[in-house]
Each structure stands twice: as C-alpha cells, then as structure tokens.
C-alpha cells in the first residue's frame, strides 16, 4: 500500500468523512505531491535541519571547524517547527529526499512512528548505539521518546529533569522553609496560609500556576508521569483510566477550586502571567532545566529572589522529579552517505564543548553522563540565589520517568486535559472539592477520554497488528 494512501487511512476519521471531505483530502494530497515534485535546488554535502536559532548559534563553531577539516561539508538550515514537521512527514510518506540530519522536537517525532516499523523514515540507530558503546554513555531514560517498538531512531539532545521553582524571598519572609516539604499534600497544606492579599492591592494572591486549560497539558503530563501514571505504558498500550491518574486529576482540581484553593491560571510564555510572577502574585512553578534560561531572559527582575528544589513527591519516598520537553537528532533513510552523516551526528551530540555551551546559553544539562562531573555545572547562578543550578538538575537526571513515543500521545494529552476541565466544572457545580469526593467523577471523565483515544488508536491497523 503506498505511503500517501496510508497517511489518509491512518489519520482521517473515516466513519465521519463525507464525499466532499474525501474530495478535499484528494485535492490536498494532489497539491502536496505537486509541491514535492517541484524542482528543489540541490545542496552540496550533507543537509542539516534545525528548528531552534539558539541551537544553530551554538552549533556554528563546531560546524565551521568540521567543514574546514572534513568532507562532505554540512549545510545547516533553520526552519520553523511547523515547516520542519511538514517537510519531514512529506518526505517520509512519499519517499522523497529529506535533509540527511534533522533535529526534531518531541511533540512531532511520534508522527513518524505511525505506520509499520519498517516505514519509519529515520535510520534505526539501535545496533550502532549499542555496538559502539554510545548507549551506555547516555542517560538511559532520555532515549525513550525516540524509541518505538524497541528500536531507537534518534540521539537524545537533552534530559530535561524538572524541579519546583519558588520565590525564596516571599517564603522566607513568611517563615516557611519550603525545602522541608516532601510531598504535594504537605505542600498544599504548608502554603495555604499564603493565599491572601499579600501586596495590599485588594486582590487575592495564590501560590502556584496550574489550571484546567490546554496551556497546562504539559504540566499535567509531567505530574502524571511523576506519580507513576501515564497515558500509555512501555508497550504503547493505553492506561488512561487508572487509579493513579484519577488521583492526580482530583488533587489538581482541589488546588484550583474550593476553600483550599492554592492555584491560579498563570501559564508559561505569557506576559500577564510573567507580570504575576514579578509582582509576587504567583510564587511557585514547575521548572524543567531549559525553563531556567527562559525565565532569566523574560523576567530578569526575579534575579536573586528565586530558588529551585526537588518537586514534592506524590507519596512519601516517591519520585521528586519529572520531565517536560525534549529534542532528538535523527538521520533520514534517504541520506546517500550514512557513515559520514552518523560521524557528524556523534561529533555534534557527544561534544563536551557543545554540552558546556548548551548549559551556559540555555541552562540545559547534557545526557552524556561522563560530562556530569564538569565544574561548570557547579558554578553558582546569581539568578537562582547563588544555587549550583546545573548540579541540582544533574542529581535528578537518572530519575526522570520513561515517556511514551506513541503517535497518539498528543491527542491523549488533549483528551485528558479536557477531562480535567470537566472535573473542575463538576466540582464547582456539586461543591465537592476534596480529592476523595472527586475520585469517582475523575474515573468517569478518564473513561470517557480513554474511549475517544481508543477509537483513534483502533483506526491504525498497522500499529494494532504489531506486537
């Protein structure tokens, strides 16, 4: 079956598509093929696509040195995330050439895993990684998002462990030592007295940014993973309506509504929310390593006022971190010089200079374990009140939870985020606010979400037929 037909067969909800809808799909397909058939200037050497300007600036020195000493040369191009995704999928589904190397973000990679394993457009790196000893050099959980049905299709760029960031000045002024807090239940209890008008402007100030909207779906997934829950297991089988997931949803709703509310709608990458953080109206948040770099650029006024600590666990002795985000470096099967492409990939991603530059520019720690003892990770960071930011994240890196590479994960996250919203509305309607009171309804909402996801999964006969 041609791959372009598989694309329609896999992604279109056939039972609801009209004749007109099929015509529109056909026209879209025809125009896509026409675009792909248009003559494209040929690059000399190896082509490398990236989506982050920051990464490109960081790689420039390494790339220049490589090109001065090696052949074939590498030509790096910066694309938008969406443009890279579209070109990647168009290439994989039509057997047309793509870049030799592609740096791809986690939310887009699973779309390449939709069909049979032999049709994945990235080179299977599993045997190379293990035969060359590279697999053991890298943080093992960091391979999970780039692994499908036991095969690894990318080199991990990062680890992205998470911590809790908090306004140390506010908590210390209130006489609260937040570092002694070990669980989320204890956190909610200890911070509750701070839910008040702290700055005298007549508006109630809350503690943590967390809300039942799509903007927080990555927070939601991170908290589910931290608790030992997930949307898919290690075999990509659904496990949405579980006791753990229901408990997390019920607890989050108890933070958002009712007499013990501690949360407010303050998403990341949002100017009004940043103003709330600067004004002290939000004094805690979830922070993967990379977000520390974003805060320093976007909110320099918090320098010296914030600290990070391990996330409170969901149960005593439980996991104190989670994971959010991620990028891989993949090699397209259409590359004409696999050995040279693989050599450059290793040179770039196993480079200590790149690892140090990545940390200094973006606060991102490397997945290469042999670099973790480097002194630059121990340097105090003024923004975070002199804490050794890198060292604190490295200590948590081995414990980041395993993530699914299911192509249905994004859809599932949206459905579970909707379940959280409906559970919040239920709490408001019934005036039931405690996690125990909300558990039954949480299960009902998760079961409804699971039915919708199952309907999508069952349309994919290629994944369904594989073990």
CATH number of the domain enclosing 393: 3.40.190.10
The residue among 154 and 233 whose pLDDT is bigger is: 154
Which tokens belong to 47? 């082509």
Residue 113 binned pLDDT confidence (cut-offs 50, 70, 90): very high
pLDDT in tens, 118-127: 999 999 999 9
Q: Are both 181 and 270 inside the same structural domain?
A: yes
Residue 465 binned pLDDT confidence (cut-offs 50, 70, 90): very low
Mean pLDDT of 339-356: 98
Q: Are both 189 and 280 inside the same structural domain?
A: yes
Report pLDDT for 38.
46
Report pLDDT for 33.
53
39 falls within a domain: no
Mean pLDDT of 268-284: 97
Q: Are both 285 and 330 inside the same structural domain?
A: no
CA 34 to chain centre: 34
Q: Please state, rounded to an integer, the average pLDDT across all residues of the chain.
A: 91
Exposed, middle or buried: residue 464 (CB in 10 Å: 0-12, 13-18, 19+)? exposed
Residue 234 binned pLDDT confidence (cut-offs 50, 70, 90): confident
- Check whether 32 has a pLDDT greater than 80: no
Q: Are both 8 and 52 inside the same structural domain?
A: no
* CB-facing half-sphere around the CA of 350: CA atoms within 13 A: 16
Collapsing DSSP states into helix, strand and coil, what is residue 200? coil
- Check whether 4 has a pLDDT greater than 50: no
Report pLDDT for 375.
98
Q: Are both 235 and 256 inside the same structural domain?
A: yes
Q: Which of 374, 398, 422 is the last residue of a domain?
A: 398
Mean pLDDT of 349-364: 97
60 falls within a domain: yes
The residue among 365 and 30 whose pLDDT is bigger is: 365
- Check whether 338 has a pLDDT greater than 70: yes
Q: Are both 99 and 171 inside the same structural domain?
A: no
Report pLDDT for 75.
97
pLDDT above 70 as % of the chain: 89
Q: Are both 23 and 56 inside the same structural domain?
A: no
Q: What is the DSSP letter of 168?
A: H
Q: Quote the CA–CA distance of 43 and 375 in Å, as a whole number.
A: 40
Mean pLDDT of 327-349: 97
Report pLDDT for 95.
80
Q: What is the dihedral of CA 118, 121, 127, 133, to 10 degrees?
A: -160
Mean pLDDT of 227-250: 94
Report pLDDT for 5.
47
Residue 393 binned pLDDT confidence (cut-offs 50, 70, 90): very high
Report pLDDT for 35.
45
Q: Are both 146 and 182 inside the same structural domain?
A: no
* CB-facing half-sphere around the CA of 429: CA atoms within 13 A: 8
- Check whether 330 has a pLDDT greater than 50: yes
Among 70, 21, 35, 144, which residue's Cα sits nearest to residue 346? 70
Among 311, 309, 210, 198, which residue's Cα sits nearest to residue 254? 210
- Name 81's bridge partners: none
- Check whether 2 has a pLDDT greater than 90: no
Domains contained in the chain, number: 3
Q: Are both 286 and 381 inside the same structural domain?
A: no
Mean pLDDT of 332-358: 97
Q: Quote the CA–CA distance of 364 and 350 in Å, as a whole number.
A: 14
Q: What residues make up the domain containing 124?
A: 48-156+325-398
Report pLDDT for 10.
46
Report pLDDT for 40.
46
Which tokens belong to 10? 């896999």
- Check whether 265 has a pLDDT greater than 70: yes
- Check whether 402 has a pLDDT greater than 70: yes
Sign of the dihedral through C-alpha 262, 264, 267, 268: negative
Q: Are both 304 and 168 inside the same structural domain?
A: yes
43 falls within a domain: no
Report pLDDT for 14.
44
Report pLDDT for 213.
95
Residue 9 has φ and ψ, to the nearest 5°, of -60, -35
């Amino acid at each position: 079956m041609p791959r372009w037909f598989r694309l329609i067969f896999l992604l279109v909800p056939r039972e609801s598509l009209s004749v007109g809808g099929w015509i529109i799909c056909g026209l879209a397909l025809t125009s896509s093929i026409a675009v792909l058939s248009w003559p494209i200037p040929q690059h000399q050497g190896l082509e490398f696509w990236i989506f982050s300007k920051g990464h490109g600036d960081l790689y420039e020195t390494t790339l220049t040195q490589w090109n001065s000493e090696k052949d074939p040369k590498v030509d790096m191009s910066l694309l938008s995330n969406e443009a890279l995704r579209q070109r990647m999928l168009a290439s994989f589904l039509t057997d047309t050439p793509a870049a030799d190397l592609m740096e791809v973000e986690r939310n887009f990679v699973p779309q390449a895993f939709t069909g049979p394993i032999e049709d994945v457009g990235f080179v299977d790196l599993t045997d190379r990684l293990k035969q060359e000893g590279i697999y053991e050099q890298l943080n093992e959980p960091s391979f999970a998002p780039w692994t499908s049905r036991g095969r690894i299709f990318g080199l991990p760029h990062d680890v992205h462990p998470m911590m809790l960031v908090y306004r140390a000045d506010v908590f210390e002024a209130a006489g609260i030592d937040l570092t002694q807090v070990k669980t989320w239940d204890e956190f909610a209890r200890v911070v509750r007295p701070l839910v008040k008008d702290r700055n005298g402007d007549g508006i109630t100030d809350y503690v943590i940014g967390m809300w039942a909207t799509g903007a927080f779906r990555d927070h939601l997934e991170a908290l589910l993973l931290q608790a030992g829950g997930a949307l898919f297991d290690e075999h990509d089988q659904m496990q949405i309506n579980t006791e753990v997931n229901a408990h997390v949803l019920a607890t989050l709703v108890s933070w958002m509504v009712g007499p013990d509310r501690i949360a407010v709608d303050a998403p990341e990458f949002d100017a009004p929310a940043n103003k709330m953080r600067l004004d002290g109206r939000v004094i805690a948040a979830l922070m993967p390593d990379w977000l520390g770099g974003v805060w320093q650029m976007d909110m320099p006024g918090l320098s010296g006022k914030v600290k990070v600590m391990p996330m409170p666990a969901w149960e005593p002795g439980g996991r104190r971190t989670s994971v959010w985000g991620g990028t891989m470096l993949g090699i397209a099967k259409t590359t004409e010089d696999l050995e040279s492409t693989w050599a450059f990939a290793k040179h770039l991603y196993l480079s200590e200079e790149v690892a140090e530059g990545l940390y200094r520019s973006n606060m991102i720690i490397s997945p290469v374990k042999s670099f973790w003892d480097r002194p630059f990770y121990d340097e105090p960071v003024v923004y975070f009140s002199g804490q050794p930011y890198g060292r604190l994240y490295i200590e948590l890196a081995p414990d980041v939870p395993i993530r699914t590479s299911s192509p249905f994960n994004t859809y599932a996250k949206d459905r579970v985020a909707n379940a959280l919203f409906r559970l919040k509305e239920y709490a408001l309607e019934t005036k039931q606010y405690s996690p125990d009171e909300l558990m039954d309804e949480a299960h009902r909402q998760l079961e409804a979400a699971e039915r919708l996801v199952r309907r999508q999964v069952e349309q994919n006969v290629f994944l369904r037929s594989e073990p």
